[in-house]
Amino acid sequence: MLSGMMARGHAWLSRVQSRRKRGHCRRQDAAKVRACTMAGIEGRDDQETFARRMAYLRKLDPLVFEEMVLDAFQKKGWIVERNTRYSGDGGLDGKVFRDHHWIGIQCKRYRGAIQSAHVDLFARDLARFGFTEGYFVHTGRTPAGTRHRQGNVMILSGRELMDFLL
C-alpha cells in the first residue's frame, strides 16, 4: 500500500513539473484534442475506419502521440509518471505503476513494419533503468515472427492499440 501511495505522489509531481514546461503543456493539451479528433474519424466500414485512424496517428507529432498514449494508460486507471524531459530516441518515454511495480513505456510512430532492433534496444533500456517489463507501443506493422510479447516487452499495436486509445 505504501508503494502505491508513493507512486501516486511521484506521478502527481511529474504531472505538475511537466505542465510547467510550455512545450509539454502544449503537447499534452494537443494530445487530448487529437484523441477526440481520432475518435470522430469514420469510414464506410470498420476496416476503412481503422485504416483512416491509423493513418491519422502516423501523421501526429511523435511527442503528441507519446502524450496520447500516456493519457490512455491514465484513463485506464494506471498511475502514470511522465518524464520532465522528452527522451528523443533512446531512453523511456514514461512509466506506469501497476501491481506494485513500475513498467516502462516506449512509443514509436512507424509507417512500415517495426524493426526488431528497436524492440531489443528498448529491452536493454528497461534493464538499464531497472524495470522488469515494458510496453513497446507503435503504429507500424508487427511482423509475423514478432510476438505480442517478446520476453519482458509487451507490444501494443494495430487494433489492440486503437482499442486502447479509444
pLDDT in tens, 98-123: 888 999 999 998 888 888 888 888 99
Domain count, the chain: 1
Q: Quick one: pLDDT at residue 147?
A: 65
Q: pLDDT above 90 covers what percent of the chain?
A: 54
CA distance 38 to 41: 5
Q: Give 96's strand partners.
A: 80, 103
**Structure confidence at residue 20 as a pLDDT band (50, 70, 90):** low
Position with higher pLDDT, 100 vs 144: 100
If pLDDT is split at 50, 70 and 90, which confidence band does 60 have? very high
CATH at residue 103? 3.40.1350.10
Cβ proximity of 162 and 50 under 8 Å? yes
Phi, psi of 146 (to 5 degrees): -100, 120
Q: Residue 43 — very low, low, confident or very high, per pLDDT cuts 50/70/90?
A: very high
CA distance 126 to 147: 18
- Domain hosting 42: range is 2-165
Cα–Cα nearest to 122, from 109, 139, 137: 137
- Does the structure show a pLDDT above 70 at 26? yes
**In the numeric block, which cell numbers belong to residue 25?**
503543456
